[in-house]
Structures are given as C-alpha cells and as structure tokens.
C-alpha cells in the first residue's frame, strides 16, 4: 500500500488477480497446440534469440534475462525444426544447460540446423558440451566436480563475449563433466581451477561457457549475456512494451477482422491487460463476461465490476452464479474434483452467456508464457510437466471459438509493463495473483457457505495488515488457508475447539519457483491476534514456511 492510502481496509484490498477464470476451460489438444509452442503458435518478430531447452532448471531464467535486455526470445524443444522457428527471424541461438551427459546412451542433442544456419551460438554448461561433442571435440567426467562459486580467469582480453570484464571474475558452476578436447577451430578463452576450458569460441561465432551467466551468483552474467546479444548477434533493443502494444493491436485486427470477441474477466491483471489490448484493437466488437462463482474474496465481485466499468469502458456482462457453483461442490473434498467441477460449471455458465450474444467468433484468454512452459508436452521436451494449465490449448468442441491470446509469450512482469503502457492503474496492474478456482482450493475439504465466510474474514485481515505495513508490492502472493484442522483453545474461561488458519506469503518472479517470505514478527503477531479475535470459530493461526519446490504456492 502506498503511504497515502486510506486506512479503510476496503480501499486497501483490491480485486482478485490472475490465473483467470478463463483458466478453467477444459481443453482439447487439437485447437491451439500444447506445451512448448509450434510454428503455428509463434508471434512473428522483427528479430529474436532461440533458447533450445535441454531440461535445465535455469532455461526459463535464461529467457527472462534475455527479455530483460529488451531482446525477444523463445524457449524451444531440441526437437524443433528450422521451418517451425524461422518466422521468428532468429539472430542467435542459446543452448541451455541440462541434467544429461553427452556420453549417455541417448543424450538430447541440438538439431543439425543450429550448426548449419550460420547464426551465432552460445552454449551454456551442458549446451557447451553438446556443441563440443557434436562438432568433433571430446567431453568426459571431471576428476573433480564443480558446484557453486568459482573464479574465471581469462586467457586473453580479445574475446568479445567477455568484453569490458575484469581478467578474473566470480562465476557460478554446476557440472560434473569437462571438455577434454576442443573441436577443430575452437580455442580456450578462459579457465577455472577445476575446468581447463571454461570458455571456448571459434571464428564463426560459436561460443561455449561452462558456468551459468543467468544466475545472480554470477555478478557479471548480465554483461556476458548483453555482449552475446549486442556485440555478437547484433541485436537491437526492440522488445519494449510500446512496440508490443502496437504490434499486438495490428495482429489482433488482422485475426479478428469483423468478428465478435468475448473475454472472461476474472478481475486479475492478465485478463484485464488481454481485454484492454483486444478492446484497443476492435472496440465494441469485444464483450467481457464476469462470472461470480461465489468463491472470491470479501466484496470482490462488486469491486471487480466497478473497477472494470471505470477503467476499461467495455461491454460487460455480470453473471451471478454463486448458488450454482456451491451446489455443484456440495460433498466434494478432492482438490482435483473441485477444479474439474468448477471448470465444468464455468464452461456451462460462460457458454450460456455467450449464446445470448448471438454469433460469436473468438475468445480472448490471458494465457501467459509460464502457463505454456509448465504445460510442456513430455514428447517435445526433456523438461518435466509441472502441471497442466487448462487455458493452454483449445476449447471444448461445442464452443467452436478461435482463441485470441495476446499475452501467450509474456512473463508476468512483462504483462504488468504492458498494462502500464495501456494506461491501466497501478492498483490493477500490480494486483497479486488469485487462483482461477478461487477460495475453493484454499479450503481443505468440502466447500460450504460457512467455511467461505470464515476464510473471507481471515483473508481480509491478512491483506489489510500486509498493505498497512507496506509489504504488498514486495510479495508475489499473500493469503489465508482454512486448513481443515481443528485445535483446542481457550477464550475467556471457556474451552474452544476451533479452526486452524494458515498464513501463506511467498516471493517470486513468475511463480515457477517461490520462496516463503520472512514476514516481520510484529506483522505476524498482529495478523494472528486479529484473526483469533475477529473471526468466529478460529482459535489458532500458523505460518507456512514451505518454498516451491518442494511445495506449491497454493495448498491444493
């Protein structure tokens, strides 16, 4: 909360955020692809860098660092063909790290076009070893593994990749193999105590580094990435929110033409930005639908309606469907069943509302790049499928609508930049994420009216205290969970047997990983005291200190 915000919690607690309601859609693979995008899904670019994924935990971080340098990039599987990526106008290729060894029985390798297309290549860790192996060098197990901090020493000062850097710099290593013989034409450019070849290059713009420049533990890593992008690939700083907005508007106009578009609004930043982009492109051809499923935070449905009518000025249908959803959830305790039931009911309500509009041709969704990456199909990637996001793909066949997904290749921070570029207010743009299934997956066990009221009251207090202490913008998500447990307590002179509320607060860049937030003790004390005193039937508050992994951000 800003320092001049009102002390009234109503003014401090904003509307629900993303993982929009449209994420409920149960999808069929045929409509719009699945996992790491194929050629038909790509957004054509003026120029780009391709990040070939070999299963590294850092592949997404590499992509983020490149995007932060105002250069567009996409993560693609090592099985990708040239025809599937050429429309991206690639100017360089990055080979990611990975858990494999090139001397395994069937290691993932780069496609042949990578070495034949004449583009600059930067191999990182396993990506370096793959390049050396495929071009005729040798890789073998290291006599001493190297994990963590190391010092990189340059052999000379003429390597463009290391331009402007000190002769010795700290780097972050994570490898058990090493280069024992370089391919023809390659030269060692730097070394560490345990890696005789820590940087290598040839005269054709093929480079390899054994360390990870994308992590914060390599202080000059951004300089190295920028040297590759600007000095070696000759990229410009073209990936900006202004360019994205203007080009997206043109693409949406071309796709939609004279058709009618509907968009499921959740109150979150993703659906808000997607709707604003589409409205900017096609105006009154867009109608937004907000479905109140009864699973939102305190006073949220009315706040969402007021906010969108004030700032978006779009055609808005408000569908009150609380009883319908809660009736469907009666007796259900399994979290996956909850999700499926909510998804099915949402589809039915949304379909009914859309049918009243007459002929509709397109559906706008706020799908983001992490949704696409985390839902990557195992046959196309060595990365594990974390979870399937229901808004990654197509629609139920009976809806027969074509998808408009203007944010499909954006990370969350990029969505927020676009939102500001479009003139949306900061309180909307920086809203914390809120799950598509709403409070149903923050109530362990059956969802009832009484439990929802208890959780809403506790969640209101959590958010009020977080904003009152100016912590809201520091945190990715903060919320209360009704754990399903009960504990003995004492209120006055009476024994109680009340509910246990858990507080969850995490920090993250994009929700792919998250660390539990070290909230100040006095804030936790205030939250606990207020919940125990102000929320009926609750007598104990606990604080969740689990990171992701091994846990997830949400409890269900």
Question: Which residues carry out catalysis?
Answer: 125, 212, 214
CB-based burial label for 427 (10 Å; 0-12, 13-18, 19+): middle
* Residue owning tokens 């054709």: 204
Q: What is the DSSP string of 379-420?
A: GG-SS------TTSS---TTT--EEE-TTTT--HHHHHHHHH
Where does residue 399 fall: left (phi above 0), alpha (psi -120 to 50 degrees), or beta otherwise? Answer: alpha
Query: In this structure, are residues 36 and 204 in contact, taking their beta carbons and an 8 Å threshold?
Result: no
The secondary structure of the chain in percent helix, strand, coil, rounded to multiples of 5, reads: 35, 25, 40
Instruction: Annotate 255-295 with three-state secondary structure.
Output: HHCCCCEEEEECCCHHHHHHHHHHHHHHHHHEEEEEEECCC
Task: Spell out the residues 6+ positions from residue 525 whose beta carbon is closer than 8 angstroms to its own.
Answer: none
CA separation, residue 104 to residues 63, 101, 176, 205, 453 (Å): 27, 5, 13, 27, 56
What are the structure tokens assigned to 163, written together? Answer: 């331009």
* Residue owning tokens 């009926």: 536
Closest CA to 395 of 354, 335, 334, 435: 354
User: Distance (Å, rounded) from C-alpha 335 to C-alpha 445?
Assistant: 8
């Amino acid at each position: 909360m800003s320092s001049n915000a009102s002390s009234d919690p109503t003014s401090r607690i904003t509307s629900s955020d993303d993982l929009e309601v449209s994420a409920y859609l149960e999808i069929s693979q045929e409509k719009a692809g699945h996992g790491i995008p194929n050629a038909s899904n790509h957004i054509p670019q003026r120029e780009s860098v391709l990040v070939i994924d070999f299963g590294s935990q850092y592949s997404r971080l590499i992509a983020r660092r490149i995007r932060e340098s105002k250069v567009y990039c996409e993560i693609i599987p090592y099985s990708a063909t040239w025809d599937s990526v050429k429309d991206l106008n690639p100017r360089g290729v990055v080979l990611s790290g990975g858990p494999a060894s090139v001397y395994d029985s069937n290691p993932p390798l780069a496609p042949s076009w990578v070495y034949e297309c004449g583009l600059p290549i930067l191999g990182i860790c396993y990506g370096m070893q793959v390049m050396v192996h495929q071009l005729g060098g040798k890789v073998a197990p290291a006599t001493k593994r190297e994990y963590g901090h190391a010092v990189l020493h340059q052999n000379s000062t003429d390597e463009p990749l290391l331009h402007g850097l000190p002769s010795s710099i700290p780097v972050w290593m994570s490898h058990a193999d090493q280069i024992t013989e370089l391919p023809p034409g390659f030269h060692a450019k730097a070394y560490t105590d345990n890696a005789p070849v820590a940087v290598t290059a040839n005269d054709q713009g093929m480079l390899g580094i054994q360390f990870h420049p994308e992590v914060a533990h390599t202080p000059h890593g951004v300089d190295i990435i920028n040297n590759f992008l600007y000095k070696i690939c000759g990229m410009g700083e073209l990936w900006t929110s202004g360019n994205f907005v203007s080009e997206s508007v043109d693409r949406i106009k071309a796709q939609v033409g004279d058709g009618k578009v509907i968009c499921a609004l959740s109150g979150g930043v993703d659906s808000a930005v997607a709707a604003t982009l589409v409205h900017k492109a096609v105006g009154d051809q867009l109608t937004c639908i907000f479905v109140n499923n009864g699973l939102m935070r305190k006073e949220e449905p009315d706040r969402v309606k007021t906010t969108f009518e004030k700032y978006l000025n779009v055609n808005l249908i408000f569908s009150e469907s609380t009883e319908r959803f809660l009736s469907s959830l009666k007796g259900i305790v399994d979290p996956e069943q909850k999700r499926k039931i909510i998804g099915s009911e949402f589809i039915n309500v949304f379909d009914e509302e859309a049918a009243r509009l007459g002929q509709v041709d397109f559906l706008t969704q706020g799908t983001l790049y992490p949704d696409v990456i985390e839902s990557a199909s195992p046959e196309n990637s060595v990365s594990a499928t974390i979870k399937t996001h229901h808004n990654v793909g197509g629609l139920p066949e009976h809806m027969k609508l074509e998808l408009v997904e203007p944010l499909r290749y954006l990370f969350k921070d990029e969505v927020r930049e676009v939102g500001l570029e479009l003139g949306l207010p900061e309180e909307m743009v920086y809203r914390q994420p809120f799950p598509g299934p709403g409070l149903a997956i923050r109530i362990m066990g059956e969802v009832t009216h009484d439990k929802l009221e208890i959780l809403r009251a506790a969640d209101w207090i959590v958010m009020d205290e977080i904003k009152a202490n100016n912590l809201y913008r520091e945190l990715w998500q903060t919320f209360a969970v009704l754990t399903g447990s009960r504990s003995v307590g004492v209120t006055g002179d009476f024994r109680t047997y009340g509910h246990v509320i858990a507080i969850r607060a995490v920090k993250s860049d994009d929700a792919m990983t998250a660390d539990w937030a070290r909230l100040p003790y006095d804030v936790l004390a205030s939250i606990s005291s207020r919940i125990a005193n102000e929320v009926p039937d609750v007598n104990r508050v606990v604080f969740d200190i689990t990171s992701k992994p091994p846990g997830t951000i949400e409890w269900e």
